[in-house]
Structure 1
Amino acid sequence: MTSTTSPTSTATSTTSGPSTTGPSTTGPATASPAAPRPHRWSGLAVLVLAVTVVVVDATVLVLAIPSITETLAPSSTGLLWIGDIYSFVLAGLLVSMGALSDRIGRKRLLLIGAAAFGAASLLAAYAPGPGWLIGARALLGVAGATIMPSTLSLIRALFPDARERARAIGIWGAAATAGAAAGPLIGGLLLEHFWWGSVFLLNLPLVALLLVFGGWLLPESKNPEPGRFDLPSVFCSMGGLIALVYAIKEGAAHGVERWDVPLAAVLGGLGLWLFVRRQLRLASPLLDVRLFADRRFTAAVLGALIAVFGLAGVVFFTSQYLQLVRGFSPLKAGLAEMPAFAGAAIASMVTARLARRAGARGALVGGMVLLGLALGMLGWLRQDTPYLVLAVAFLGVGAAEGLVYTLASDLVLTAAPAEKSGAASAVSETAYELGTALGIALFGSVLTAVYPGAVGTPPGVDEATAAKAHQSLGAAVEAAHTLPGAAGQALAEAARGAFVQGMSLAALCAAVLVLLGAGLSWRLLRRR
């Protein structure tokens, strides 16, 4: 990608397996590139499989939410935790696991994480209650955090040539964004024939393939002089991120009057401040925060964070809109979201070409503007909106997300020294996962705040049934079935209208936020 330059530092890695050609280096930009690895494209296929496993698990659950609501009967807050605990934990641990991969070996940590991911998937599939499922999803987040940083940093080890690496990152980005978009479709296919736990059992054969072919085809790569692994930094980063997200989530849902919300906000801010302060003092920090002095690095991280922040919360609820408001089956709802899958795959593959023509600044900001406009379209949805409008909005959302995420990953990776590629990659993925968690938390909380008041208590509905309907749209539809004729229909219609009202407001908020982020990225990437 000509809009970025390869780092001038030496890439240090030790290699094993069929791709062994000796240590791989990338010297200064004027030096001849290292010899290409003969099995690099096969190794990329393994990394694509790894990232697909992690990102599909983040979205495959969305179509199962109605089934989970019916079977496990979680509260509205519990339902949000089921949806976002995976991304919370993933985001909280990515930086630490990225630094750990630089120290013990990226391939080794990826394979350990894959085995743990399979075990946690079994626990989630057979969860007997909402608390168990939330815990299993948290363990999946821990395992996913050991996989994700290694996938991007190993691309750097496999592809020392900058142009080949840009193409490989495009393929990797297509797998990440398209896999996230395809999650609902896969979930819909499974839910047509099996119970909701099947969306987790899908991981087991994929993990088995990853363990077999990853051990064979991937090279080992790590920092030869990593320094010690600083546990206080791990606790500060994870504790700070999770506490801050908790404060935003609970504050948006219940207000700041509760004592735990300001306490969590203070603890989160303190934890992150201590983390940054400690990194500046350590000889071998988990994350070199001075990387943020590079405008490309900062703009890429913020662009990915803001774009996903705006996208995740709204898209998490569109599946409920399609099933519970429009009456689509899980499979039909997954097919209805296919334009997002197609847009993400195509945009990720052509990102390098677009960046060469428009520059990194134009491509990144253009993708964010497109995302803002597409989210704005979702803000005008009604119960009877024609599907063509939905398809266009989904196509725009998918294409923009594929472009922004792929380009941001390339900017982050090329701005960081090669020996710190694991930690730098983790920053990009932390932005993605933290944005996902914050988006679901904040915009889900907007919906949660609007929904109960908009439902009200229709005539003929008793207070106990109305209270149940106020918990969530799924609970309202279930409660409506217990009421006679007109009263049940009135409650269901009121609940659907309230859900659409809350979702539309959340989508418009997301659109405004993403457009503001586009302006910020444009300013950060301006030429000096």
Structure 2
Amino acid sequence: MDLTVLHLAAPAVSADLRPSGGQLLWILDIYGFLVAGSLITMGTLGDRIGRRRLLLLGAGAFIVASLMAAFAPSAELLILARALLGVAGATLMPSTLALLTGMFPDPVQRSFAIAGWMTCFTVGEAIGPLVGGILLEWFWWGSVFVIGVPVMLLLLVTGPLLLPEHRDTAAPGRLDPLSVGLSLVAALSIVYGAKQLAGTGLGWFPLLSILVGSLSGVVFVRRQRTLSAPLLDLGLLKLAGFRAALGTQTLAVCAVAGSQLLVIQYFQAVLGLSPLAAGLWTVPSVVLGIGATLLAPRLARRLGPGVVISTGLFTAAVGAAMIVLTAHQASLAWTVSSFSILYTGVTPTLALTTDHMVGAAPPARAGAASGLSQSGAELGLAAGMALLGSVAMAVYQARLATSAPAGLDHRSLLESQETVGGALDVAERHPGEVGNALRAAIDLAVSHGLQTAAVLAMAGFLGAALLAAISLRDRGTSTAGPGPVGNPDHPKELRR
């Protein structure tokens, strides 16, 4: 909820805090970046200090950071609050997934439990825009961050009563601080550099950022090999199926996250929908996605996870292709239909790839496996919003520069190119022919940006589908119990 609701609030944030284009992207992206960079640490920490304990600590921190974001007086402080939210949010996902893995040792029950867990994410995506849209109709943009407060308060009250505690009693309690820092630097630097390349083109600073991140990642991996209690269990990455599921999931999430952000922006900027109406028109995709996610474990037992995952991702690619072909028509029916097909194809694959990964890990390392699984998902989420969002913004700016009306002054043009919300404000300040022509130019530029991003999303879905079809063909993954990590004599490894 906390991530998707911000899609609707972005225009209001732009109008109130007046962030630059780069600051707005950081407001949207920094939460996912910090979650992605902290998940491995939090997953391992949960194994050592207790998954329920970490979950409750994270809930308390989430409340504090949510209130900071809600009342942030400037773009800089909002970015800081979103960063703290990311660190707090990183405690929640690996803890809940690892707790589920311990509560349902039977593989068939575990598969369905993880599908239900993933469905809760999908429901949260639906609730976020709907509740956020209602709040934005009546209150200021900061109210969308308060949504998480009662949820976390409920968790703090009921968690100690209902959740069992699980931890790895054989693992040492101390984390390696250098490994924690290296993992965070690697994730943040690589994604930031990629975002800058997509938004501004080739340059020495984004290339340097990617290089720093890559070197940090290499040093991080090398250090794990020398530690008696590593932060990252490299044995997980030695499993071919684990690697393939992780890569498939990351590609799929990257494609769907960027598409979702841009489609919601398209609803408001081009189709003229209110935030509430834009949220309501995401409901069809969410309902279909929930049904597909709950059906996926049964289909995977019959057909094999590779077949179900690759078929779903190919379906998502068809939805992205429909967006490419119809975005210029400014049709609500085509846009809703196209995105619903895309979303229905991709959501069940996320549950299956997650189950594939956590099923390969021994129970004592469930937190580490969950953290690594969700690191791929969150990194894909942040990268998708950053990369596809930056590419769409670059296309938008270039198209607006060529199609803006001749009567628009240079300063207003530059303001219009900063953000779509800012451009709509400029159009309202220029009544008459110039304002109408600028409004038409904005619609054209946003549509071209969405089409370009949809082409990239389609390529990502097809690449992920091919990877799943080739590498995730083992029917036993979702129904066989977990074996020792990296054991080549285990039957699952022999089948692979």
| TM-score normalised by the chain length of structure 2 | 0.93
1:233 equivalenced with 2:179 (yes/no): yes
**1:329 maps onto 2:274 in alignment:** yes
Match of 1:273 in 2: 218
Residues 350-409 of structure 1 deviation map (CA, whole Å, 9 limit, x = unaligned): 121111121111111112111211122222233544333222223223322320111111
Aligned positions of 1:334-349 closer than 5 A: 334-349=279-294
Q: In the TM superposition, what is the alpha-carbon distance from 1:230 to its structure 2 partner?
A: 1.4
Q: Give the whole-Å Cα distance in 2 for the aligned partners of 1:480 and 1:392.
A: 30
Give the 5 Å matches for 1:193-272.
Answer: 193-227=138-172, 228-257=174-203, 259-272=204-217
Once the 2 structures are TM-superposed, how far is the Cα of residue 215 of structure 1 from its aligned partner? 1.3
Residue type of the partner of 1:495? I
- Structure 2: where are the runs of 5+ without partners? 475-495
Task: Report if the CA contact (8 A) 2:47-2:365 is conserved.
Answer: yes
- Please give the residue correspondences for 1:441-452 in structure 2 after superposition, counting only pairs within 5 Å: 441-452=386-397
The aligned counterpart of 1:53 is none
The code of the aligned residue for 1:94 comes to L
Which residue identity is paired with 1:229?
L
**What's the counterpart of residue 171 of structure 1?**
116
Q: Aligned equivalents of 2:296 and 2:167: distance in 1?
A: 28
Q: Which stretch of the first structure deviates more once superposed, 182-191 or 419-428?
A: 182-191
1:42 corresponding residue in structure 2: none
Cα deviation per residue 1:245-299 (whole Å; 9 max; x = unaligned)? 1110111111222x32122111100111111112222222111122122222112
Q: Is residue 286–residue 343 contact of structure 2 (8 Å, CA) maintained in 1?
A: yes
Question: In the alignment, which residue of structure 1 is the partner of 2:434?
Answer: 487
Asked whether 1:63 is paired with 2:12, we answer no
Post-superposition shift, 1:239?
0.5
Letter in 1 for 2:106: D
Are 1:419 and 2:356 matched, yes or no? Answer: no
Specify the alignment match of 1:101 in structure 2: 46
Structure 1 window deviating more from structure 2 (140-149 vs 389-398): it is 389-398
> Which residue identity does 2:469 align to in structure 1?
W
Q: TM-score, normalised by structure 1?
A: 0.87
Task: Describe the superposition over 1:157-198 as per-residue Cα deviations: whole angstroms up to 9, x where unpaired.
Answer: 211222222221111111113322442222212212221111
RMSD: 1.4
Q: Is the 2:256–2:457 Cα contact (8 Å) retained in structure 1?
A: yes
> Are the equivalent residues in 1 in contact too, given 2:307–2:473 (CA < 8 A)?
no
**Equivalent in the alignment of 2:76:** 131
Letter in 1 for 2:201: G
Give the length in aligned residue pairs. 472
Residue number among 127, 136, 141 corresponding to 1:191 in the alignment? 136
List aligned pairs for 1:419-498, cutoff 5 A. Answer: 419-456=364-401, 457-498=404-445
> Retained in 1: the 8 A contact 2:305–2:473?
no
State the AA in 1 paired with 2:409. Answer: D
More helix by share: 2
- Cα pair 2:271 2:330 within 8 Å, conserved: no
* Residue 324 (structure 2) pairs with residue 379 (structure 1): yes
What amino acid maps onto 2:440 in structure 1?
A: E
Q: Secondary structure at the match of 1:58?
A: coil
The 4+ residue runs of structure 1 with deviation greater than 6 A are none
CA contact under 8 A between 1:149 and 1:425: conserved in structure 2? yes
Q: Report the Cα offset of residue 450 of structure 1.
A: 1.0
Q: Distance in 1 between matches of 2:125 and 2:350?
A: 12
Question: AA paired with 2:427?
Answer: A
The worse-fitting range, judged by mean Cα deviation, of 95-104 and 169-178 is: 169-178
Amino acid at match of 2:186: G
Looking at structure 2, the residues matched to 412 and 500 of structure 1 have their Cα atoms a distance apart, in angstroms, of: 38
SS in 2 for 1:381: helix
Alpha-carbon distance, 1:423 to partner: 0.7
Kept in 2, the 8 Å contact 1:125–1:197? The answer is: yes
Letter in 2 for 1:491: L
1:502 counterpart residue number = 449
State how far apart, in whole Å, the 1-side matches of 2:86 and 2:327 are: 35
Give SS of 1:197's match.
Answer: helix
Q: Secondary structure at the match of 1:221?
A: coil
Q: Distance in 2 between matches of 1:285 and 1:506?
A: 38
Report SS of the residue matched to 1:224. Answer: coil
C-alpha distance in 1 between matches for 2:220 and 2:439: 48
Pick from 442, 460, 473: which aligns with 1:513?
460
